[in-house]
Chain A
């Protein structure tokens, strides 16, 4: 068994976590102050509302010849009619993206009605077509839905946190709950920060799947940390006379193999998803994989090392 001396290098652990969190917060703040984004993360269609059309082209060799600007021109050159009460939309803000070496086209447009979306597909067909039969997807999300999604995600997250904190306080004590939530916040902030930087660097947008990923990371992080805490409590019972630093060191060493194996086995399907899962789940899987790695760090190193300072101030609880 590997004997880890966490207590001796705990300052280093705190510095690493502090740097990572600082780097992430810098990314979030930069994103927020960026006039083009004005939010901690670059919001995608799910949050801003609008229409996204993805078309698979049947073009074989000639795929890469298409340029986004040509599609954009075709789009702007063919204004849309008003549909019922929806006025004719302004397509100047439309953006065109080519994926897979031009094999598929993604159009990001203001909110369109179903009829207008069909008109858009017909408008770009002369330059970007022909399209594969059945290979198209159209997403239209009203602006009010985005805020609904954000609010419901945040409330469910808040309730989940409160529930977890309550459970840990009941099974362990308040300090463990605070530390578990701290480790969780650490993981969520770092993953968000990386995506904020990605938003700045390559224009990556976060969608509702990213919200799902953050919620999962939160759940995983707590699960991971709780197992280490469970072992610390056990070591405290077994070796009540040892200083808290030794108890924590022993507990972390005892669970190290398990934490690494579990993270490894959780990463395996995620790596499979990244490699084979297709474009829909690509960034989702990356966010989760990142969360698993950061989550292991926080449950092996950060949360237990923080427990050592907190317990020293109240030695009477060591026998709890």
Chain B
């Protein structure tokens, strides 16, 4: 009797603890339940590195962390997955295109000098690029007006032919963008290999140009970088050759260096990229440059976006399904098992409470498959109770006393409950350790459910049943099964 009271106290204490855990720890909802974006990135091997190790993954993550913080999305998280993947969650963000762009770029800043004797070609290319850009801008500003006025069709065709582009492919916009890319490629080809890169950068900033109302990105070099920058500018000063600043191989700025720098180059360790940036572009570039270049390129494998109202709808529907399913099970148990059914309903309610508390504690992020796993684990918890009660009924039908029937019922059902739960647990462990994403979430909730179900069926149901049996008035076999099924010689 004392032992039984001990169990009873333990269950009560656990229930209170679980309740307070639920009140103080918020449940973590997955993005499919509350809306937001999720990006899955894979680090690509490059150069000498043929296989990604956790060390490289951490290096990439450190850089991306800085960029993610720069995005300014509340509660965003970046986690490593497996050996070479990272998952970024942006709750509430429904347009992940900016995040994708900011994260996906290597952001390798390079400083290059123009090759000698290419000044004339370069001027032509720069003029052409300026024209194409202005057409594209005009097109974006006034889709309806005819942008051909800035560059006539003949000139465009000539430029395309000169650059070896197929004038018939794609629509106008595409053709123009292709042209722009090609011109940029040609410009890049007229620069020497990088003299130095963004590693020598101390920090980047941004500044609003009062005259043009465009944003510029300011660069501050470290000591070595200041020297390299001075050397580079000195070598081209006064020659008419340009200084090119490249981001991931694309020219973002070209500047001429005046003859007054012929002696020492541009010293002081400061430079500015005046690339006609908007405030947002300048900020993104600043964030990328301050975060540094990615040691390895990353590829975006998956982008999932779910709107917040879709998420809310999912929560409501799944919750409704879970609750109505539970209500139906409760009614069923009460009808079939009477008093024992009542015990099972209480035990199963405790089971649900414990489950939710464990989710909040670990914490398990609740996703749709996770909820499905939870609902299914309820089915297994019920199975344990059904197994026990069927055994008790069997014993009663054989004419055993109630107390003895209950004890035998528990001990006989024990081995099949253990076997059933352990086999399910084995698959949960396999799915959790080897599976990915959805499968993992499902295995987690089902696994927790199976362990807790073992506990509640073997302790809660048993203790509650014994507790009720200590009342003489309840100790009647008809509280467990109909009179007609009892043998006549019964107690």
Interface residues in chain A, defined as those with a beta carbon under 8 Å from any beta carbon in chain B: 1, 54, 56, 79, 81-82, 84, 88, 113-115, 117-118, 132-142, 144-145, 148-149, 152-153, 155-157, 159-160, 163-164, 167-168, 171, 208-209, 211-212, 215-216, 218-220, 222-224, 226-227, 230-231, 234, 254-255, 257-258, 261-262, 264-266, 268-273, 275-278, 280-281, 284-285, 288
Q: Which of A144, A209, A269 contacts B322 (CB 8 A)?
A: A269
Q: Is the CB of A277 within 8 A of B426?
A: no
Q: Is the CB of B307 within 8 A of A272?
A: no
Q: A79-B174, A273-B372, A281-B372 are in contact. Are A264 and B332 (CB under 8 A)?
A: yes
Measured CA separation A222–B425 after assembly (Å): 11
Q: Is the CB of A288 within 8 A of B95?
A: no
Q: What string of 1s and 0s marks CB contacts (under 8 Å) between B385-420 and chain A? A: 011001000100100000000000000100110011
Q: Is the CB of A226 within 8 A of B94?
A: no
Beyond known contacts A79-B171, A257-B390: 15 more, CB 8 A cutoff: A113-B303, A132-B309, A138-B305, A142-B299, A145-B40, A164-B423, A215-B427, A215-B442, A216-B373, A269-B321, A271-B325, A273-B375, A276-B320, A278-B317, A280-B32
Q: Is the CB of A156 within 8 A of B430?
A: yes
Cβ of B239 within 8 Å of any chain A Cβ, yes or no, is no
Q: A118-B95, A265-B383, A272-B321 are in contact. Are A148 and B436 (CB under 8 A)?
A: yes
Q: Which of B60-68, B99-107, B220-228 contacts A (4 or more CB under 8 A)?
A: B99-107
Residues of chain A lying within 8 A (CB to CB) of residue B382: 262, 265-266
Q: Which of A137, A211, A220, A230 contacts B306 (CB 8 A)?
A: A137
Q: Which of A82, A231, A281 contacts B174 (CB 8 A)?
A: A82
Measured CA separation A9–B314 after assembly (Å): 46
Residues of chain B lying within 8 A (CB to CB) of residue A222: 423-424, 427
Cβ of B304 within 8 Å of any chain A Cβ, yes or no, is yes
Q: Is the CB of B303 within 8 A of A138?
A: yes
Q: Is the CB of B379 within 8 A of A265?
A: yes
Q: Is the CB of B101 within 8 A of A216?
A: no
Residues of chain A lying within 8 A (CB to CB) of residue B310: 54, 56, 134-137
Residues of chain B lying within 8 A (CB to CB) of residue A156: 430-431, 433-435, 439
Q: Is the CB of A81 within 8 A of B309?
A: no
Interface of chain A: mostly helix, strand, loop or mixed: helix
Q: A266-B379, A272-B328 are in contact. Are A155 and B434 (CB under 8 A)?
A: yes
Residues of chain B lying within 8 A (CB to CB) of residue A142: 299-302
Cβ of B285 within 8 Å of any chain A Cβ, yes or no, is no
Looking across the interface, which residue of chain B has its beta carbon closest to that of A148?
Answer: B436
Place the interface of chain B in its size category.
Answer: 35 or more
Cβ of B14 within 8 Å of any chain A Cβ, yes or no, is no
Q: Is the CB of B328 within 8 A of A167?
A: no
Measured CA separation A226–B378 after assembly (Å): 19
Q: Is the CB of B309 within 8 A of A88?
A: no
Can you list the 5 inter-chain pairs with the closest CB atoms, starting with the nearest? A269-B325, A266-B379, A156-B434, A114-B97, A160-B430
Measured CA separation A277–B332 after assembly (Å): 21
Cβ of B258 within 8 Å of any chain A Cβ, yes or no, is no
Cβ of B340 within 8 Å of any chain A Cβ, yes or no, is no
Q: Is the CB of A160 within 8 A of B426?
A: yes
Q: Is the CB of B301 within 8 A of A135?
A: no
Per the 8 Å Cβ criterion, residues 454-469 of B in contact with A are none
Cβ of B334 within 8 Å of any chain A Cβ, yes or no, is no
For residue A112, give the distance in angstroms from its CB to the closest CB of chain B. 9
Q: Is the CB of A226 within 8 A of B434?
A: no
Measured CA separation A281–B96 after assembly (Å): 25
Most A C-beta atoms less than 10 A away, residue of B329, B373, B427: B427
Q: Is the CB of A137 within 8 A of B439?
A: no
Q: Is the CB of A134 within 8 A of B434?
A: no
Most A C-beta atoms less than 10 A away, residue of B95, B177, B324, B416: B416
Residues of chain A lying within 8 A (CB to CB) of residue B303: 113-114, 117, 138-140
Q: Is the CB of A262 within 8 A of B386?
A: yes
Residues of chain A lying within 8 A (CB to CB) of residue B86: none
Cβ of B71 within 8 Å of any chain A Cβ, yes or no, is no
Q: Is the CB of B376 within 8 A of A114?
A: no
Cβ of B45 within 8 Å of any chain A Cβ, yes or no, is no
Q: A258-B390, A276-B320 are in contact. Are A145 and B325 (CB under 8 A)?
A: no
Measured CA separation A114–B307 after assembly (Å): 14
For residue B318, give the distance in angstroms from its CB to the closest CB of chain A. 6
Q: Is the CB of A216 within 8 A of B442?
A: yes
Q: Which of B94, B100, B328, B422 contacts A115 (CB 8 A)?
A: B100
Q: Which of B300, B309, B317, B436 contacts A277 (CB 8 A)?
A: B317
Measured CA separation A289–B101 after assembly (Å): 43
Residues of chain B lying within 8 A (CB to CB) of residue A168: 423
Q: Which of B94, B104, B332, B420 contacts A84 (CB 8 A)?
A: B104
Q: Is the CB of B332 within 8 A of A135?
A: no
